[in-house]
Amino acid sequence: MMDNEKLHNGTIQRKLKYERMVSRSLGANPDDLKDPIKISIPRYVLCGQGKDAHFEFEVKITVLDETWTVFRRYSRFREMHKTLKLKYAELAALEFPPKKLFGNKDERVIAERRSHLEKYLRDFFSVMLQSATSPLHINKVGLTLSKHTICEFSPFFKKGVFDYSSHGTG
């Protein structure tokens, strides 16, 4: 009887703990609503060798208290931009770093591209959180904004989606 009661109480405790984690309130910290998504590209990594060599950018995403990292090639950023601007016209106004025919493996060019891509992603989320047509509009997602919401919005942000190399993505 005592063991059964302990087991039952332990299950209830875990359930309550889980429910508290899942239903955390954004209202507790007003700063969360002002800037619920923080995004940065802290570095880039050279992957592959010879003619297969390419750079991957580390994209660090924080949504409230969830943080994750994905590695993406420039072509994946471009693909996401092209696809989503067809769905959301307001994204067409964002400045997307242009494709380079020459020098795309030059360290200076890559460092500049990293900076431009980071600015693009910040502007991208700023627009998507304000756009009435966006599923990420703050009034629509409000209390449910999460890693899951972002990953459902675009596979670009999903870990493991484009992973081929030892570092991240193909």
pLDDT in tens, 87-117: 999 999 999 999 887 777 888 999 999 999 9
pLDDT band at 165 (very low <50, low <70, confident <90, very high): very low
Q: Kindly report the CATH number assigned to the domain that includes residue 150.
A: 3.30.1520.10
| Count of structural domains within the chain | 1
Q: Is residue 64 part of a domain?
A: yes
Three-class secondary structure of residue 55 per DSSP:
strand
Three-class secondary structure of residue 37 per DSSP:
strand
Which range of residues forms the domain containing residue 67? 29-157
User: CA 104, 109, 113: angle at the middle one, nearest 5?
Assistant: 95
Q: Is residue 20 part of a domain?
A: no
Query: Residue 167: phi, psi to the nearest 5?
Result: -95, -30
64 with 149: CB under 8 angstroms?
Answer: no
Task: State the pLDDT at residue 60.
Answer: 98
